[in-house]
Every structure is written in structure tokens, then in C-alpha cells.
Structure 1
């Protein structure tokens, strides 16, 4: 190995391999004469900057000036783009030529690798606090849950789970207008995420099931005539607005059992909205889905 080759290896080790011990390094093999390389450069630089707090860095290797390094990686054409972590190549990113394609591939890698970035550290700090807010909200203490999510929003205003929790807490606290304003103020990229869709479903459900001050008249109507499905539907909505999801589910399921397509399937649709609000991964939703399936297909 010549002196120039040894220097190239040392430089590569310092600028690429060593940073990859804790970060995800995007290696861009390029050359000055390469037109596609120049077109790709702004995309790589922007994405690397956007993902810097997630522990992603960009390293550029000029294949003309680093022919020995390019040969070690068996570079046959450029641009060639690899991802390295802890000194090992973990992905070929060459096919990603747009920002969205590259971000999608990086997101997948970041979910799989123990990268140490600021975003991951913040996520680890937020996770138990978000869980606490969700637990308080599920217990029916909307005021306290809103206070928790308000504090979290100051720490991480663009975190989807925080935004979702805060909006749902506003809805549960009876502050529908504030919840609508919070949804409208979300950045477009945040508004499309599943967590925010769950919050939006909560708001839509609140509009269709307004709170009722006194449940007694509705309960009396159902007691007088169990076949009065409209009264049963109104009572189920009232239970839902009051945060009693068990009673709400019982009411909607009773309607589906009595008349599956009552009012164009309105009871089933309302129940599915409730599932969206609670969260499709929630064990309670799984249990209610089994009950619904037993009625529909049993």
C-alpha cells in the first residue's frame, strides 16, 4: 500500500468509519464530472440536515481522488450511495433519488438500529410522559391530561403523539373549538399522520355525540321500550360523550344485534369511530371487535 493509499484509508476511517460507531453515515461516492451526482447532492444534503438530530451524517467520497477507497467498495458506477453503521454497510441507498424515497429508507433503518441522536434521546425522555398523559386521559381526568399534554407540547410541539394527545384531551374537556383550532394549526406533514387522524376522529365523534347533562330520560326511554333503537342509540352516544366507552359499546352492539343495518348501519359506524379514537392497537378495541364479529358472523 502506497503512502497516498494509507493516507486515504486514514482519512476515510476518521471521516466515515469512526463517526459510524454511533451515527448512521450516508456515504456518497461521486465525481466532479458526474452530472447525476450533482443533481443528487442537494437531496442528500437536505435530508442529512433534516435528520441530523436523529444521528444521520453525510460523508462524500470523490472517486477520482480516492480511487483506492472506491476500489475497496467495488464502485462500478456513480452516484453510489451506501449507509454505514458501526463500520458495516447496512443499506444501499443508490435507488433513492428523491427526498421522500431517501427519507423512507432512512426511517426504516433508524427503526432497526440503535442510533444515538438527539431525537432518539428526546423520544426516550418523552415516551413515559406521553404514556402517563394517555393513562390519565383514559381514566377520564381530561383536565389533568390536558395539563400534561400542554407541558409536553412546550417540550416537543411537533411530536405527533403529543399533538394527538393534546387535541383528544381538549375534546374530552369539552373544548371542541380549541381542539378544532389546534387541528387547523398543525403543519401539513403532521396532519397526515395516524396519530393525528386519531385525534381528528375524536373531534368528529364529539360533534356527532354531544354531551348530555342528564342521562335519566334516555335510560328511562330504553327501559320502557327495549326496541326503541333511536333511544338506545342516543343513550349510547351520551355514554360515549361522558367517557363511558363500555356502556357506549354495549349500546351500539345491542343495536347491531337487533337490526344490523339500522339507519344505514349508523350504530356500527359510530362504534368504528370509537375504535379509531381509542386506538386500534388497544386491547379494549380488540375485545369489542371480537364481540362485533360474533354478532355479524357468528
Structure 2
């Protein structure tokens, strides 16, 4: 869990990286997305769907994730965003009615598990980073809804009984067809196909903000795929004037929750560039703004600064 490669980069602003899903899981037959199968028995009885633990619980939850999706919140007392996220995430998980479990790992007490506060999913026994920082509640809900739908489509539709009573699963509207196709492509690690579906959705509905965000997130995930933190940081430090190297560091910062750092790096670079470089930085910043979300205060601040630079 403490591996610092970015093969599965953390998504921002409501995205979910489904590239780690097992493609050979059987499809659910006739069940609504995320709903327990008819007459199915619960996998376990629990007092609460939110549990604090360490390595032992992480191993147990990894095994359980072969039957149902599990979230793991890696939190730390020194992280203000982490403290704000916890109650929101717990509330959302409890609203899932037993179809989702949340394991909370205290990084202060279990530093061997990692150093970066983030939320990951355990899906089919495999870890998948979902997001870092503290995205808006509606974007977290979108991430979890997509995760539950992906789980149901692969037969990972187990559930737990909470407090001795079988949980009732709330119904959820399905994703639009092109969005669903994009998510399924991500499940297979096919970024090119996912990009094509989001682009088609935008062609058909240019005002589709979710498709716009999805496309930006797919582009980010594709750029980071296979790159390691050490390689990106080293190249960025050695080539401060190399635009591609600085773009990679900004992508890495954003994927790790260091949103202000990502924006500041590119904004500080902007005045030093020729017209072509400035245009490239502007386009990349606008794309990263979409990843984080237009209503995020950090995006608003960075957008104001970019506007000032454009008219300087």
C-alpha cells in the first residue's frame, strides 16, 4: 500500500481510476447497479460499516473485497483536508446501506502503510487510488456510485448486515450510455477508448460537464500511467525550463492532492515562456481546473491569477 509509483494515480474531483479492476469477473445477471441479488445472504453482520484498524484489518478487508467493494481512508492528524473529509466520507458510506465498507487507517500510527492521506478502493483484492485531498461531497458521491455500478457489473455485489437488520439498497440512476462505456473502458485499462467515449459525449452534448471532467481525468491518468514519483521529481528538478517535465510534476502534484503546488508551478512558469509555451500552459491549467472542479476555491484563486497573467 505504501508503493509510491503512480501506476494507479489518485484521481481528483470525482474521478475514479478503474484500471485495476479484474476484467474476468462474471457479470451480474439482472441485478440493479449496486443492489444485493434477490434472496442473497449478507456476507457478514457488523455493528458499523465504518471500522478503524491497521495491517490485520487491511488484509481481512482485501479478502472481503473479492465479494464486495471496500474503501480505505488513509488519514493523518496533521492534514487539515483529511480531517475535513472523514465525517463526509463516513456519512456517504453509511448511506450506501451495507453495500460498502470503510476501513480507516491512521497513518500517524501506521506509517509503514504510507505517508500520503488518500482514499483508495479495494476491488477484487486489488488497491485502486480514488482521490486525495477533500473534493466536494457531490463528486465523492459520483466516485462511489461509479464504483458500486462497476462492482455490480462484475458480480461483486455482496453486502453486509448492519445492526442485525438486512440493509436496503437505495436505487441509483444509471450512468448515461457513453459515460458507462467510458467507465467500462477504464475498467480494462483502455484509456484511449475511454477518451473516445467522453469525446463522443461532448460532441453530442457540448454542455455535458461530467463528460468534460471525465475527459480531463482520463487524460491525466493516461499521462501518469507507468511513471514513478522519483523519476518525475528528478526530471523536474534537473530540467526546470523543460515544459514537458514541469507538466509531469504538476500532474503528479495534482494526483497526490497537492493542488495549489500544481497550479503554482505552472503559473510561476508562465511569464518566462514564449507565446507557444504560454498557450500550452494555459491549456494545461484549464484542463487541470476541470479535474479539480470549477467550484473549488483553489481553482478560483488560480483562475484569477491566470487571468491577471493573460492581461499583464
Instruction: Flag whether TM exceeds 0.5 (same fold).
Output: no
TM-score class, shorter-chain normalisation, is 0.3 to 0.5
Larger relative contact order (CA 8 Å, sep ≥ 6): 2
Larger radius of gyration: 1
